[in-house]
Structure 1
């Protein structure tokens, strides 16, 4: 258990009445993050929600995919958008519905999800490169990197939704003292969103590798004892993807540049080169795409799709 602070039990108990801790939500999230999820099961799940169905069809029919005819079948839409990408949209939508912070907390939901999707795109692309150029076939799971990217900052949402006034103090510290979010959270809560997020994901019965990666995504340089190769790689890749996400959403942001060399050094030399390539491609592509595509779902899909085209 990630019970690294005595407040954790009370924190989770305090949040237990939120929709995100209902048995229905946990069952739904387990389905969506399962390695066994297939197109038929995902389509069946999507059809239960008319708004979600319309959203997925809108993405499949967007100019980005250049379809010559109108797509009306959700199964066909999944094939066009991709199973992994569609699953990501559904997971993000599910979490958005369950955890909606109020404006008075200082946490901007739109910016939160833009950063989340940029981190997910980065984690997926870097994981692809690592896997394609590593001698061990189980060096990293791209699907795990994808899910970890979507959920890596879930602790932030939980803090903002459950403890509004305290998270407002966090937001004020970030603004006034120019602290990183996890540094400000540590001051106010005595723990940060990565630790709480890992504890939450564990209580959702998500895979250990994902829980570990979320736990360490701000401190991958810290020795992670008793972790396997895939878990260590996933933690390092998620940490790197999180650090470069400002470059994707705000290309001139200096925060990502400051941590980049340190984080790249965490990966073995051969993986470091691949991560640099992935990062540069994503940075260039996002610079071109962000001003043109206002819909954050299409930003995410565009980044992932372009990276996949370059690897094919």
Structure 2
């Protein structure tokens, strides 16, 4: 994949300082056909990003923009270099069964029994898969799913792909201690919501919805990875300290897409995953085929709205996503139902 690595080298050239780099956007809308690229880049998406980070970091807006001392740039530079060299200590390692699962799921000849056997060969994955399959986002019907074979049968091939993606990533995003519990919980909820929205949007456009679901989880996994790596760097400083909300916000917003690419590379994911991440980070003018962008915008708006946080007006969302209003209402209803069911399950 020469294109990927040439981009990687250019983006993290030693000659480029962290301070000089523009902050990559999380929400990169291109607007519906007929809108100019400049018109699509309106302040409402910047506001939505700000509201998201305030919620994730449980901090007021002023805390995210507070001026940093001179040591902050050194910390960010260290983090940048670790991403460039792919030497992040907190980078999640690829699950051992993932290559077998991806091959089996992409092979049309794979039957239900073979797929179930691969899953059952990993007891930890089996437990996670059954937990995820019975969650409000995936569960079908009133009866619980009690076995892997039953999950494969009831959810179907596309459904089980998404459950496997969530089951693989869920342990990596579980809180390690009480200090990161709230952040980890919110990032996981946000990631699942955006992934589900991207899946629904891609299905409307007759694209590989499972590809977009898993890709939609990678930004959330990059957030938990970046936060942990930043804490590790700060704690190993000559005078150890905990990173402030402002420093954490800068790290997440600057390196979210690059870290997602490193994760995809570390896990040897197929080139399509790298391409979808690149497409979302750097959409072209009047681009109309980026379900991940639309999914992140819709998912972010709905999770903030449900949490009673400031978000984005519906008319502004419809200006940015490439979805007819009636389909948007349907997607929004599905997402909201799953969020509400998940909240009741946690209560």
Q: TM-score range by the shorter chain?
A: 0.5 to 0.7
Cα distance in structure 2, aligned partners of 1:192 and 1:257? 28
Q: What does 1:1-312 correspond to in 2, within 5 Å?
A: 1=5, 2-3=8-9, 4-6=11-13, 10-11=82-83, 12-15=85-88, 18=90, 20-21=92-93, 25=94, 27-34=96-103, 35-36=105-106, 38=110, 39-50=112-123, 52-54=125-127, 56-57=129-130, 65-66=140-141, 72-98=146-172, 102=176, 104=179, 108-131=183-206, 140-164=207-231, 169=243, 171-172=245-246, 184-185=250-251, 191-220=254-283, 233=289, 236-251=290-305, 253-257=309-313, 260-261=317-318, 263-264=320-321, 267=322, 272-273=323-324, 276-294=325-343
RMSD across aligned C-alpha pairs, in angstroms? 3.8
Cα distance in structure 2, aligned partners of 1:291 and 1:109? 19
What is the aligned residue count?
256
Cα distance in structure 1, aligned partners of 2:232 and 2:92? 20
Deviation at 1:118, TM superposition (A): 0.8
> Which of the pair has more CA radius of gyration?
2
Check conservation: 1:197, 1:215, Cα contact below 8 A.
no
Q: Deviations over 1:141-166 (max 9, x none)?
A: 22321221122333212212222167
TM-score scaled by length of structure 1? 0.65
Deviation at 1:100, TM superposition (A): 5.0
Unpaired stretches in structure 2, ≥5 consecutive residues: 14-76, 235-241
Check conservation: 1:18, 1:98, Cα contact below 8 A.
no
Change (3 A) 1:80 1:59: farther
SS at match of 1:20: coil
Cα distance in structure 2, aligned partners of 1:107 and 1:47? 31
TM-score scaled by length of structure 2? 0.59
Check conservation: 2:257, 2:281, Cα contact below 8 A.
yes
Unpaired stretches in structure 1, ≥5 consecutive residues: 132-139, 175-180, 225-231, 299-312
Check conservation: 1:40, 1:75, Cα contact below 8 A.
yes
Deviation at 1:239, TM superposition (A): 1.0
Cα distance in structure 2, aligned partners of 1:221 and 1:125? 22
Cα distance in structure 1, aligned partners of 2:161 and 2:106? 12
Cα distance in structure 2, aligned partners of 1:278 and 1:117? 20
Change (3 A) 1:222 1:153: farther
Cα distance in structure 2, aligned partners of 1:289 and 1:26? 27
